[in-house]
């Protein structure tokens, strides 16, 4: 066993304040940090102690990153690989940890806030609503990375639940095509958030299936953007909502006994 331990830390969506407490502590005590400079705000690395070795991985191959982590683990007790969002979602986590395990190097993962959650938070929206949708699908459009059989966007969109579509802003026309084929209406609301939570760089674009591409082009949004298609969008302005059963006065659970509903007197 080598003396150091490698921590794969989720940096969250961009705002350094959205790092977990544990992730922040590890950065503050790390001897070396490998961060994804093209996606992670460099401000997060300012938490590093004096003398910490900091390397941007944006120009490195996977093998080069693994070699760097191997080398730093032989020199430092705590090494951090700082990844955007959550390490387990659209990251090369398993590709990087397999050789570490084979070499007997200790590693662990610290989860992070995903851009899907940050996007709906920035827009003041919700992913689920009672009697509207209780399902969220995290997915992407096929690009250079193909989609497995049965996971094409049209098939997933046929459920008409909430779709959080990653890594697909340059393929927004394909998103529109898939949703239309799945029966989504032209006036279905679509939300796009670029750089959710990034101080001074966040953009929120609201539109419909029909016009969201044109709106994104007008705002020059072409990278680092989350696409959300959901029947819940805009619900803050609806006239009526189905209320949550958990907080209904008549709902009984182990912490509260519900009040019996009384029928209204219709005789005047």
| CATH number of the CATH domain containing 44 | 3.40.1010.10
Of 12-26, 168-182, 234-248, the range with the lowest mean pLDDT is 234-248
State whether 171 and 136 are in the same domain. Answer: yes
Residue 243 within any structural domain of the chain: no
Q: What pLDDT score does 116 carry?
A: 97
Q: What is the mean pLDDT of residues 92-101?
A: 93
Q: Calculate helix-pair angle for 62-73, 93-102, nearest 10 degrees.
A: 40
Answer whether residue 51 shows pLDDT above 80: yes
Answer whether residue 108 shows pLDDT above 60: yes
User: Last residue of a domain, which of 110, 139, 160?
Assistant: 110
When pLDDT is cut at 50, 70 and 90, the band that residue 39 belongs to is confident
Residue 268 within any structural domain of the chain: no
Q: Which of 205, 197, 217 is nearest to 113 (CA)?
A: 197
State whether 127 and 233 are in the same domain. Answer: yes
Q: How far apart are CA 222 and CA 208, in angstroms?
A: 18
Q: Which of 26, 19, 2, 8 is nearest to 95 (CA)?
A: 8
Answer whether residue 194 shows pLDDT above 90: yes
Q: How far apart are CA 45 and CA 152, in angstroms?
A: 37
User: Last residue of a domain, which of 110, 144, 172?
Assistant: 110
State whether 12 and 103 are in the same domain. Answer: yes
Name the DSSP letter for residue 242.
P
Residue 149 within any structural domain of the chain: yes
State whether 57 and 159 are in the same domain. Answer: no
Q: What pLDDT score does 267 carry?
A: 43
State whether 76 and 129 are in the same domain. Answer: no
Q: Which of 11, 205, 224, 13 is nearest to 123 (CA)?
A: 205
Domain range for 82? 5-110
Distance spanning both ends of the chain, measured CA to CA: 82
When pLDDT is cut at 50, 70 and 90, the band that residue 247 belongs to is low
Q: What pLDDT score does 268 carry?
A: 38
State whether 17 and 101 are in the same domain. Answer: yes
Q: How far apart are CA 18 and CA 85, in angstroms?
A: 10
CATH assignment at residue 185: 3.30.950.10
Answer whether residue 81 shows pLDDT above 80: yes
Answer whether residue 20 shows pLDDT above 90: yes
State whether 186 and 137 are in the same domain. Answer: yes
Residue 263 within any structural domain of the chain: no
Tally of domains within the chain? 2
Of 158-162, 164-168, 252-256, 262-266, the range with the lowest mean pLDDT is 262-266
If 0-12 CB within 10 Å is exposed, 13-18 middle and 19+ buried, where does residue 210 land? middle
State whether 165 and 224 are in the same domain. Answer: yes
State whether 205 and 154 are in the same domain. Answer: yes
State whether 72 and 176 are in the same domain. Answer: no
Q: How far apart are CA 141 and CA 147, in angstroms?
A: 7
Residue 248 within any structural domain of the chain: no
Answer whether residue 12 shows pLDDT above 80: yes
User: Last residue of a domain, which of 83, 110, 137?
Assistant: 110
State whether 122 and 224 are in the same domain. Answer: yes
State whether 128 and 87 are in the same domain. Answer: no
Percent of the chain with pLDDT over 70: 91
Q: How far apart are CA 48 and CA 9, in angstroms?
A: 13
Residue 262 within any structural domain of the chain: no
């Amino acid at each position: 066993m080598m003396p150091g331990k490698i921590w794969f830390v989720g940096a969250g969506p961009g705002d350094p304040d959205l790092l977990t407490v544990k992730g922040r502590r590890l950065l503050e005590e790390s001897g070396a940090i490998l961060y994804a400079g093209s996606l992670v705000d460099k401000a997060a690395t300012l938490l590093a102690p004096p003398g910490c070795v900091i390397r941007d991985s944006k120009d490195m191959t996977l093998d080069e990153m693994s070699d760097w982590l191997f080398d730093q683990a032989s020199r430092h007790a705590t090494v951090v690989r700082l990844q955007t969002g959550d390490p387990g979602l659209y990251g090369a986590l398993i590709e990087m940890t397999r050789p570490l395990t084979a070499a007997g190097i200790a590693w662990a993962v610290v989860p992070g806030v995903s851009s899907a959650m940050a996007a709906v938070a920035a827009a003041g929206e919700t992913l689920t609503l009672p009697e509207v949708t209780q399902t969220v699908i995290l997915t992407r459009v096929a690009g250079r990375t193909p989609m497995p059989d049965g996971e094409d966007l049209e098939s997933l969109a046929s459920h008409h639940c909430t779709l959080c579509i990653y890594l697909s802003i340059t393929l927004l026309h394909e998103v529109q095509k898939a949703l239309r084929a799945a029966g989504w209406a032209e006036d279905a609301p679509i939300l796009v958030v670029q750089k959710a939570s990034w101080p001074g760089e966040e953009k929120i674009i609201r539109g419909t299936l029909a016009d969201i591409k044109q709106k994104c082009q007008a705002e020059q949004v072409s990278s680092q953007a989350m696409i959300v298609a959901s029947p819940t969008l805009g619900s803050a302005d609806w006239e009526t909502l189905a209320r949550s059963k958990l907080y209904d006065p008549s709902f009984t659970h182990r912490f509260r006994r519900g009040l019996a509903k009384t029928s209204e007197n219709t005789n005047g």
